[in-house]
Chain A
């Protein structure tokens, strides 16, 4: 469990094989336990928000999200993440959720599909099939924005 409700929601929406796709590394296969499920949820949510925020015109925050995601994925390649790093990312994601809730519902609706596409492309790059990527991306978007009332 993370201290972030957003991370909990997203991790709750991911099955173990879905989570494996987010943290996949070519020469390493994970058995996903709780810690790695949270790490996968962070990857999923950050990937979603990087596209979502760019579409909302919040370029700086979108770019920062993409940068943090890249670093987080690189760290994951070395092994399961440090709990402190996980909490730091969770706090950052809560900030993104607050930012998302500031925008009007119809503006957010357009951005959701861009965020979903970002997740989908990420998953296809990591070996998912198209249908699988689309389904997971839809469920990540829904859980990431649930409390913002844009599910």
Chain B
């Protein structure tokens, strides 16, 4: 995995990374739909009750979504009898290429820059990887399951082989999920697939030395969700300390951990083998992880993908000036880095070089991120309870 680079050194580099994150944080299809929603060119739901089965609301089961002037709600059971129910809308397939096109255009511009740490081979690999998942509707379980099955078939023998090597190979077992995280950070696998894999591989490790169970007991399930959601929350709090590249990398990583927490909770719910009280709290923990993702991760990559820094600042200024609430509350929807927030109250938008200068100036006081160290130490995806079980199994 390549070390973190200064994304804002060149605007196309930042937009290339941003568009890759926007496409891969869930799956390319969602990224493309969200870009259209963000630009006001598409809305999936109508006012009143909507029936959804595609996962635009976060999962794949049938859901009913109420959209009202003062908020709304998502329920699993049918809404009141007699209430009109709208069908969820889908975007025009021609429009869906917008974000993908931006990614390809930025990739071409970055290739021309001939940068040492972002060469044309890597740009090509990322493009091929995203393209392989593109245009697959997330409701198409077949495509996702095929990717999952292939990786899981590889995981079990890998884990057994690592286990058989004994100490100090046990660290390799524990680090197996780190490889998945790196694959996601390098855009080799989209967030939805990476999150499900991560949850399943953690469950396999909890079952050491058999590595056969894909479901965990109540204690491990709870510990995993708590650990992954804690990591997601802490990364989101911590991201403000880093430069723009670090800020968005931590946001992207937090997205994976929040999705993995939600995925572990969803599997526990579907398995229905837990006590009612345990299950109830596990579902709420999963919902909380879902909220963290929806409010602090999902929309974060859109603006830096769609606009250059000046355009993004203008969009935020326009957004902050419209409707009710304080400017900070309103722009929080897009989770912009602190450097942008400092520029929001300027009376006139500075020109492009000035915007970049201001942001770089603000970044001088911020830390640089080393994500390789972070995911191996402070943000390791395997909870301590399960790491302890692994050690106990080895001793036993």
A interface residues (Cβ-Cβ under 8 A, vs B): 15-17, 20-21, 24, 26-37, 79-80, 125-132, 135
Contacts and interface: CB of A to CB of B under 8 A. Distances in A.
A29 B284 contact: no
B295 A16 contact: yes
Nearest to B68: A33
Chain B CB within 10 A, most for which of A20, A26, A125, A135: A26
Chain B CB within 10 A, most for which of A17, A28, A29, A80: A29
A50 to B, nearest CB: 20
Given A131-B233, A132-B288, 17 more contacts: A17-B291, A17-B295, A21-B291, A26-B284, A26-B287, A29-B74, A29-B291, A35-B70, A79-B73, A125-B284, A127-B281, A127-B283, A127-B285, A127-B286, A128-B288, A131-B230, A135-B237
A135 B236 CA distance: 13
A32 B283 CA distance: 19
A26 B70 contact: no
B287 A31 contact: no
Interface in B42-82: 67-77
B332 A21 contact: no
Chain A CB within 10 A, most for which of B226, B288, B290: B288
B214 to A, nearest CB: 23
Contacts of A30: 71-74
B103 interface: no
15 contacts: A17-B296, A20-B287, A21-B288, A26-B280, A26-B287, A30-B73, A31-B67, A31-B74, A33-B70, A35-B71, A36-B70, A79-B73, A126-B284, A127-B281, A135-B237
Nearest to A36: B71
Nearest to B237: A131
B291 to A, nearest CB: 4
Contacts of A28: 73-76
Interface of B: 67-77, 226, 229-230, 233-234, 237, 280-281, 283-288, 290-292, 294-296, 332
A83 to B, nearest CB: 10
Nearest to A29: B74
Contact of A129 (B69, B70, B230): B230
A5 B73 CA distance: 27
A17 B329 CA distance: 12
A33 B72 contact: yes
Contacts of B73: 28-31, 79
A138 to B, nearest CB: 13
A27 B332 CA distance: 27
A36 B73 CA distance: 10
A129 B236 CA distance: 13
B233 A29 contact: no
A115 B132 CA distance: 53
A17 B89 CA distance: 25
A131 B296 CA distance: 16
Nearest to A31: B72
A35 B296 CA distance: 22
B290 A129 contact: no
Nearest to B70: A33
Nearest to B80: A79
Given A15-B332, A129-B230, A131-B237, A26 B71 contact: no
